Amino acid sequence: MKPNFIRKIANWGNFPVVEKEVRSMDSLSRIREFIKNNNEVIARGNGRCYGDAALGEHIFSTIRLNKFISFDRLNGIIECESGVLLSEILEICVPQGYFLFVTPGTKFITLGGAIAADVHGKNHHSEGCFSESVLEFSLLNENGEVITCSRTENSEKFWATVGGMGLTGIILSAKFKLKNIETAYIRQEIIKAENIDEIFRLFDESESWTYNVAWIDCLQKGKNLGRSVMMRGEHAFRHQLPPKLQENPLRLKEKSTPSVPFYLPGFILNNITVKFFNFLYFNHHRKNKVADYVNYETFFYPLDIVNDWNRMYGKNGFIQYQFVIPKENGKEGLKKILETIADSGNGSFLAVLKLFGKNNPEAYNSFPIEGYTLALDFKVNPKLKKLVSRLDEIVEDYGGRIYLAKDSMSKSSLTDYLKNVQNPKFVSLQHKRIISNS
């Protein structure tokens, strides 16, 4: 009989699925013992990375490191254990007039996962990555020591861990800054772009907005290649809100989250349904430009509205392919990628385009570099590997790189920026795959 801590496990894309040891504990002495007794340990937060990054031979789940340590309400500084979810932090800080400096497109990730992937949001061009807000964290290293890492103390470990995908040890807790907000609402503008030239012009014009993102229809070709919808936003001030919303401007949205109750049959998502969805999405707003006020949940986390939406892709799962191409080559590279995808017939149900600003050179393991980044979902199918290899070649030709938090198939040379210590204690399946392919 298998020991009960060996179980089938996958990350958000449900690909790959592996059978590995998964342990979770909150006592430091037991965590130390687990590390001492095993090699190839990897930390796992909430498994919201898409590929194989949070999987390894011996997985330490931080799910029980879930306590808040302190909240300095005057200065907006919060400290919690690494398994606390961003959603839990928001529930505490929004009613107090604070928000995260940087948030990804889901709030169901842990603080440890946010630091280890150095996540970015819709404001990379204006506010950088998550690490910009991190003051310090405690790290359990390969020797079982707990060290404090900040910009001034163990700074080498601080920068290796930020974006280091768990390869430097286990982040136990962290202290980070929040930003002031007057309301829980975003003043947003939604603007349609008929093609790639228009959407690039819109990104240039919108650089002064704090948040920018575009949904892109990957099945369009010819003069409509790059047809998209841009959403840009700012935190709303109280006086800007309609009178009814001014009454309780920091109120949290009521929770009602439907679920996808089981894996849908894989054939439901196909080129025809994706085309139909894209048509509805693009034509949802009749006007070319719409301005309104929406709750932060609607603006930042539209996908979180449906629990377990990843089951929509069926049991074989899906991958998310996210790359960045330097700004100077951005349009040409993106055109080539969009043409390749449209010709391949692999429709991407979700495709999100952002413009990254300058990177922080100290955070050398972080994914973003100045340029255009596109994230695409593809259902796993027998032809996918070939498409990914072709996309990898194009990204490489244009001097780009791919995002480790999403990857499970890409070429190792596109992940060279993870110049980490080769540490036999902390190794993920992703890391092993990358090393063996290089």
CB of 303 to ligand FAD, least distance (A): 5
Residues 45, 226, 333, 357: which binds ligand FAD (CB under 6 A)? 45
Element (H, E) at 82: none
Residues 44, 157, 401, 433: which binds ligand FAD (CB under 6 A)? 44
Amino acid at 394: I
| C-alpha to C-alpha distance for 230 and 96, rounded to whole angstroms | 30
Nearer to ligand FAD, 220 or 310 (CB): 310
List C-alpha distances in Å: 232 to 105, 189, 299, 354.
Answer: 14, 5, 9, 11
What the block records as the tokens of 381 is 């199918």
Please report the DSSP string for 253-296 in residue order. Answer: PPP---B--SPPPGGGSSHHHHHHHHHHHHHSSSSSEEEEEEEH
Q: Are 105 and 115 in contact (CB under 8 A)?
A: no
Q: Find the binding residues for ligand FAD in span 321-360 (CB under 6 A).
A: none
Asked whether position 305 contacts ligand FAD by CB under 6 A, the answer is no
Q: Are 169 and 84 in contact (CB under 8 A)?
A: no
Residues 76, 128, 166, 226: which binds ligand FAD (CB under 6 A)? 166
Q: Are 410 and 402 in contact (CB under 8 A)?
A: yes
CB of 298 to ligand FAD, least distance (A): 15
CB of 195 to ligand FAD, least distance (A): 24
Amino acid at 420: N
Nearer to ligand FAD, 225 or 324 (CB): 324
Asked whether position 16 contacts ligand FAD by CB under 6 A, the answer is no
CB of 193 to ligand FAD, least distance (A): 20
Asked whether position 54 contacts ligand FAD by CB under 6 A, the answer is yes
Q: Are 41 and 423 in contact (CB under 8 A)?
A: no
Residues 14, 46, 183, 408: which binds ligand FAD (CB under 6 A)? 46
Asked whether position 49 contacts ligand FAD by CB under 6 A, the answer is yes
Task: Tell me which residue has tokens 């400096």.
Answer: 101
Nearer to ligand FAD, 47 or 371 (CB): 47
Asked whether position 53 contacts ligand FAD by CB under 6 A, the answer is yes
CB of 422 to ligand FAD, least distance (A): 16
CB of 369 to ligand FAD, least distance (A): 14
Nearer to ligand FAD, 120 or 433 (CB): 120
Asked whether position 365 contacts ligand FAD by CB under 6 A, the answer is no
Q: Are 299 and 105 in contact (CB under 8 A)?
A: no
| C-alpha to C-alpha distance for 400 and 194, rounded to whole angstroms | 26
The sign of the torsion formed by the CA atoms of 128, 131, 133, 135 equals negative
| C-alpha to C-alpha distance for 48 and 14, rounded to whole angstroms | 10
What the block records as the tokens of 131 is 């690490």
Q: Are 406 and 415 in contact (CB under 8 A)?
A: no
Amino acid at 100: L
* Site size toward ligand FAD, by CB under 6 A: 33
Count of C-beta atoms within a 10 Å radius of residue 383: 11
Nearer to ligand FAD, 53 or 342 (CB): 53
CB of 305 to ligand FAD, least distance (A): 11
Residues 9, 90, 149, 165: which binds ligand FAD (CB under 6 A)? 165
Partners of 414 in beta bridges: none
Q: What is the β-pairing status of strands 185-193 and 170-180?
A: unpaired
Asked whether position 42 contacts ligand FAD by CB under 6 A, the answer is yes
Q: Find the binding residues for ligand FAD in span 261-290 (CB under 6 A).
A: none
Nearer to ligand FAD, 96 or 417 (CB): 417
Q: What is the β-pairing status of strands 185-193 and 289-295?
A: antiparallel
CB of 73 to ligand FAD, least distance (A): 25
Q: Find the binding residues for ligand FAD in span 80-139 (CB under 6 A).
A: 82, 104-106, 109-110, 112-113, 116-117, 119-121
Residues lying near ligand FAD in the complex (CB under 6 A):
11-12, 42-49, 53-54, 62, 82, 104-106, 109-110, 112-113, 116-117, 119-121, 165-166, 170-171, 303, 405, 428
